[in-house]
């Protein structure tokens, strides 16, 4: 049902006209579609019903993210869901309701250095790689206070924010916090912030899975119709072998993502949860870049033109492969956290 509902917003195979119209514009996504996502309960999918959410698991979240990836939806659902999870622990819930409804966009500015899943919470440090920051209504700031990680809310209006364009036509923001304008809303989220970042990393892996599956489907269609030398090029054995290799990458990625989601929903915590997330994200990051690049090559010259949709999938993979940790970071973390019999 969740997969079917996603088609109303992001039809599998993509609504390339909508995606292209939003590229390199401000804020880079459609606020009306984000509101629709809120109305459908997607932003609060993982929140308990008592907190205004749907109380569903990571299996459902990954299924939804996969469909959004297949449709190349630019709306920042995963970052919004991350913020919703943190706001669920806030003393003041005033910011949660409009976020869940999609009427406001609260983004968590947690990252202080490139390729990291660590949240130092340094009060005066700039926060980097905030996705779709130009559309934010407010920012969540985790701040280290001794042994605790407090949570502050900073209005986006008047914030010291620098916006940079990304390859897929979206944006990243660099935020320099002014704590005199921020409001403290939670005393300590240190025990949960690592968990919600892992959930965001796993959902991003599922989004990448959907992206590469849609790119592969587009490529198979091309191989089955394009003719050279009087033959359908999909009958050439060398191209069949390359397509088979990509299909294996897709299958391995799906196994990793679905296995990690099942482990989460079965109650995995600590190193066990971190290991399965890192295995899935490392696989998705590497496979998505390989599959989308190969799809460009299998299309030949037309694949390199911006007017052809194959490039949209590659650009999306280039942006998301390193979000919430690169393949290299997650391989290192898997070695640190996985049981010895899985190394």
Backbone angles phi, psi at 101, to 5 degrees: -80, -5
Q: How confident is the model at residue 1 (pLDDT cuts 50, 70, 90)?
A: confident
Q: Determine if the pTM surpasses 0.85.
A: yes
Cis, bond preceding 239 (omega within 30 deg of 0): no
Rounded to an integer, what distance in angstroms lies between the CA atom of residue 145 and that of residue 56? 32
Check pLDDT > 70 for residue 343.
Answer: no
- Which residues, at least 6 apart from 146, have a Cβ–Cβ distance to it below 8 Å? none
Fold of 193-342: Butyryl-CoA Dehydrogenase, subunit A; domain 3 (1.20.140)
Q: Closest Cα to residue 325, out of 144, 149, 203, 215?
A: 203
Q: How do residues 228-261 score in pLDDT, each as one tens digit? A: 888 988 888 999 999 999 999 999 999 999 999 9
Query: For residue 117, what is the enclosing H or E element?
Result: none
Whether the CB-CB separation of 134 and 171 falls below 8 Å is answered with yes
How do the domains of the chain map onto residue ranges? Answer: 193-342
Helix, strand, or coil (residue 257): helix
């Amino acid at each position: 049902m969740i997969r079917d509902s996603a088609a109303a917003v992001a039809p599998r195979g993509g609504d390339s006209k909508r995606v292209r119209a939003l590229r390199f514009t401000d804020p880079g996504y459609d606020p009306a579609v984000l509101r629709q996502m809120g109305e459908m309960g997607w932003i609060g999918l993982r929140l308990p019903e008592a907190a205004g959410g749907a109380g569903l698991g990571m299996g459902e979240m990954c299924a939804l993210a996969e469909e959004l990836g297949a449709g190349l939806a630019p709306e920042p659902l995963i970052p919004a869901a991350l913020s919703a999870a943190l706001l669920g622990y806030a003393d003041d819930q005033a910011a949660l309701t409009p976020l869940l409804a999609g009427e406001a966009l609260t983004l968590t500015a947690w990252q202080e250095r490139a390729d990291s899943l660590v949240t130092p919470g340094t009060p005066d440090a700039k926060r980097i790689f905030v996705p779709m920051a130009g559309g934010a209504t407010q920012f969540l700031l985790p701040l280290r206070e001794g042994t605790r990680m407090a949570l502050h809310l900073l209005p986006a209006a008047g914030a010291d924010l620098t916006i940079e364009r990304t390859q897929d036509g979206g944006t990243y923001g660099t935020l320099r916090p002014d704590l005199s304008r921020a409001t403290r809303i939670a005393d300590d989220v240190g025990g949960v912030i690592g968990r919600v970042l892992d959930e965001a990393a796993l959902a991003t892996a599922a989004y990448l899975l959907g992206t590469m599956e849609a790119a592969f489907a587009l490529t198979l269609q091309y191989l089955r119709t394009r003719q050279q030398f009087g033959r359908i090029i999909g009958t050439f054995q060398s191209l069949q072998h390359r397509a088979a290799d990509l299909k294996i990458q897709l299958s391995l990625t799906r196994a990793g993502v679905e296995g990690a989601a099942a482990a989460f929903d079965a109650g995995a915590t600590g190193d066990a949860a971190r290991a399965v997330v890192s295995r899935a994200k490392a696989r998705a990051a590497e496979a998505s870049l390989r599959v989308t690049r190969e799809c460009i090559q299998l299309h030949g010259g037309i694949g390199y033109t911006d007017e052809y949709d194959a490039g949209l999938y590659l650009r999306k993979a280039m942006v998301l492969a390193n979000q919430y940790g690169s393949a290299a970071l997650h391989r290192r973390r898997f070695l640190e956290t996985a049981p010895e019999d899985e190394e």
